[in-house]
Amino acid sequence: MRKRHFMTTVFAFLLTVLFTSPVWAQTDDVVKPGDSLQKFAFLYFNDLHGALEPRTKKKKVNGKKLKYEVYGVARMAAMVKQIRAANENHNIPTYLVNAGDFIQGSLLSNLSKGAIEAEVFNRMGLSFYTMGNHELDFGPDNLLNLLHLIKASCVTANYKIRNQPVGKVLIKTVNGIKMGVAGLVAAQDFSLEIPKVDPTFLKNGSVEDEFKKAREIVSDFKKKGVDLVVFVNHLGLENDKKLAKAVEGIDIIIGGDSHTAIEGCEMVKNPNNQTCIVQAGAEGQYLGHLEVSLQNGKPNSFHAELIPLDETVTPDPGISRYIQSKKNEMERQYGRIIAQNDCRLEGRKHTIREQETNLGDFVTDILKDHFRVDVAIYNSGGIRASLAKGPVTIGDIMAALPFPTNRTHLLKLTGKELMTVLNYNATQVGKGGFLQVSGISFILEPNIGVQQVKIDGMPLNPEQIYTVVTNSYVATGGDGYKMLDKVPEDRREYESNPTPIVINYIEKHYGASKHISYCASKNRIILVK
C-alpha cells in the first residue's frame, strides 16, 4: 500500500473510533488509574476459494477505459506484512487467521489440491485456521496432507477423520493474557442428511454438534482461566449469531461460509458478555483487521475494519513471483487448445444454480451421448466456471469441472423414481443441487414440483426403466438426493471421472479448429415464476 493510502486508512480508523458506535463497541468506557491495558490484533480472511491471482478490472479515466488489477494473495501478503510491522512497533501481538474454504474455485488451486495455498500461508505467517467443507473436495487423505503442509495450527474442534481430530484447541499466554482459540464446522454440512461434502468422503469422518462442542470448550477455557475466547468458524453469519446467543463466554467469532463482508463488528449481547463477530467477504477482496483491547484481563472494546485489496496496494513481489511460476507450469501442462467456442458458455454460480444454461446443456449432452443413456443429470454445484468465447483449453474444462475424485454413475431408474428426483430438484432452485439435464424436459415450479415431464419427446412412463448418468456426488446422496443413494448395486454401474470424459469427447468430436455452437440453452427446463 502506498504511504498516502496508509495515512488515509489511519485517518479513517481514527474517525471510526470517535464517531461510529456499531464498529467500536465497549463494555466499560472508563479506564481507571492503575488499570492494565493490553491489545491484540487479528488479521482475517475467509472463503478464498483458490483466488490466488489478481483480477483485471476496467474503469473510465478521461473517457477512456483503463485496465487495472485488484485482489490476489500477493496484495494480501503485502498488507499483512505492513500491519504486522506497525503493530510490532507498539508491542501489539498480531495473528493472521483463515476461516475455511481456501481451496476450490480456480484451476491453479485445484490442480495443486490446495498445496499452493499451503505454501502461500506459510510464507504469510498464518497463525491458525479452521477447515471448511471444500477442504474435503479432494478427499480426506488430501485434507490430512494439507494439515501436514500448513505450518499453522488447524483449530477445527468438532470434526474427526478415522477417529483422529482434524484440529486442536489452543491456549496461548501472551503479555500476561490467556487466549483460548477453537474452531467449528457446521455438523449438518458433514452429515448424510444434506451434506455439502461428497458423501463418499464422509464414511471415514465424524462430526459433533457445534453448539454442544462450543459449550464444552468454553467451559474448559473458563476452568483454565482463559481471559480471551476466540472461535474461528465455518458456519455462516446467521449460525454464528445463533451460537453467540446460545453459548455465553465467546468474545470473538471470526467466521466464514456465508461470504459476508461485515463492516466492523456484528455485536451479539448476552447477560454476562458480548461477542464481536467478523467476516471478510470472499475471494480475497478484503483483509479484515480486528483490534481488541483488554482492561484488567477482560475484553473492553473491539474495533474492526475491512481493508480493500485494491489497485492502491502494491503486491508482495516474492508471492507474485511464486504464483506466476506455478501459473507458467500449469499453462505448459494444460494450455493445449481442444476446440473453439462460438459463444460464452455460462457457468457462473449465481446463474447456473437458478436456471438451465448452455454450459449445463453442453456437459449433460456430452455425457448422455458418450454413455448412450436416456437421461443425463448434473448438479449445478459441480460446474464451477464458465467457458469464454474463443479457444477452449484442457485447463478450461478442468476449471469448469474441477472434481477429480468424482466418479460417473450409470443408474437404472423407474419413471416413478425419476419423478421423485425431479420433484426434489424443484426445492433446489438457487442452490448447488439444481440439476442441469439432457434427454428430458419439464415444467418446474420452485418448491412445488414438476409437470409435463417428457423423455426423448415422449411422456414419462412411471413403470418404465430409464438409464440415467450422473456424478458420484449426486448418485450417493449429495445435496440431499438421498433417493439415489438407495438405488441398489444391481441397478448401478461405475465409470471414470466425468472431466476427462468431457475433454476426450470434445477432442474427438470437435478438434482444435472446430467450433462449439451452444449459444443458447435448449429450453429443457421451463421455470414457473
Q: Is residue 11 part of a domain?
A: no
Residue with cell 414419462: 460
pLDDT of 164 strictly over 60: yes
Residues 46 and 192 placed together within one structural domain of the fold: yes
Q: Is residue 306 part of a domain?
A: yes
Residues 282 and 314 placed together within one structural domain of the fold: yes
Last residue of a domain, one of 295, 326, 357: 326
pTM score of the predicted model: 0.84
Question: Cα(509)–Cα(502) distance, rounded to whole angstroms?
Answer: 10
Domain of residue 295, CATH code = 3.60.21.10
Question: Cα(121)–Cα(98) distance, rounded to whole angstroms?
Answer: 9
Residues 198 and 270 placed together within one structural domain of the fold: yes
Last residue of a domain, one of 271, 305, 326: 326
pLDDT of 51 strictly over 60: yes
Helix axes 73-89 and 115-124, enclosed angle (nearest 10) = 20
**511-528 b/e (C-beta count within 10 Å ≥ 16 → b):** eeeeebebeebbebbeee
Q: Is residue 58 part of a domain?
A: yes
Question: Cα(23)–Cα(16) distance, rounded to whole angstroms?
Answer: 7
**Confidence at residue 21, expressed as pLDDT on a 0 to 100 scale:** 33
Least confident of 22-31, 48-57, 143-152: 22-31
Is the distance from CB of 425 to CB of 344 less than 8 angstroms? Answer: no
Question: Cα(127)–Cα(144) distance, rounded to whole angstroms?
Answer: 18
Last residue of a domain, one of 299, 326, 353: 326
Q: How many CB atoms lie within 10 A of CB 488?
A: 7
Overall domain count for the chain = 2
- Of the pLDDT bands very low, low, confident and very high (cuts 50, 70, 90), residue 35 is low
Question: Cα(79)–Cα(287) distance, rounded to whole angstroms?
Answer: 8
Q: How many CB atoms lie within 10 A of CB 510?
A: 17
Q: Is residue 378 part of a domain?
A: yes
Question: Of residues 26 and 402, which shows the higher confidence score?
Answer: 402
Cα distances (angstroms) measured from residue 172 to each of 57, 216, 295? 42, 18, 18
Is the distance from CB of 390 to CB of 469 less than 8 angstroms? Answer: no
- The helix (run of H) or strand (run of E) holding residue 287 is strand 286-295
**Contacting residues for 437 by C-beta, under 8 A, at least 6 apart:** 356, 360, 364, 375, 376, 377, 378, 524, 525
Give the chain's mean pLDDT: 91
Question: Of residues 221 and 513, which shows the higher confidence score?
Answer: 221
Q: Is residue 14 part of a domain?
A: no
Say if strands 286-295 and 298-308 run parallel, antiparallel, or are unpaired. antiparallel
- Of the pLDDT bands very low, low, confident and very high (cuts 50, 70, 90), residue 401 is very high
Residues 299 and 353 placed together within one structural domain of the fold: no
Q: Is residue 24 part of a domain?
A: no
Residues 119 and 240 placed together within one structural domain of the fold: yes
Q: Is residue 21 part of a domain?
A: no
Cα distances (angstroms) measured from residue 432 to each of 368, 383, 428, 435? 21, 9, 7, 8
Cα distances (angstroms) measured from residue 521 to each of 87, 256, 315, 342, 470? 54, 34, 40, 14, 19
Residues 171 and 145 placed together within one structural domain of the fold: yes
Question: Of residues 42 and 105, which shows the higher confidence score?
Answer: 42
Q: Is residue 238 part of a domain?
A: yes
Q: Whole domain around residue 460: which residue ranges? A: 337-527
Question: Cα(246)–Cα(250) distance, rounded to whole angstroms?
Answer: 10
Residues 263 and 152 placed together within one structural domain of the fold: yes
- Of the pLDDT bands very low, low, confident and very high (cuts 50, 70, 90), residue 13 is very low
Domain of residue 442, CATH code = 3.90.780.10
Question: Cα(413)–Cα(487) distance, rounded to whole angstroms?
Answer: 8
pLDDT of 524 strictly over 90: yes
pLDDT of 216 strictly over 60: yes
Question: Of residues 225 and 19, which shows the higher confidence score?
Answer: 225
Question: Cα(460)–Cα(454) distance, rounded to whole angstroms?
Answer: 5
DSSP reduced 3-state for 484: helix
**Confidence at residue 406, expressed as pLDDT on a 0 to 100 scale:** 80
User: What is the DSSP secondary structure assignment for residue 384, as one 8-state letter?
Assistant: -
Residues 368 and 260 placed together within one structural domain of the fold: no
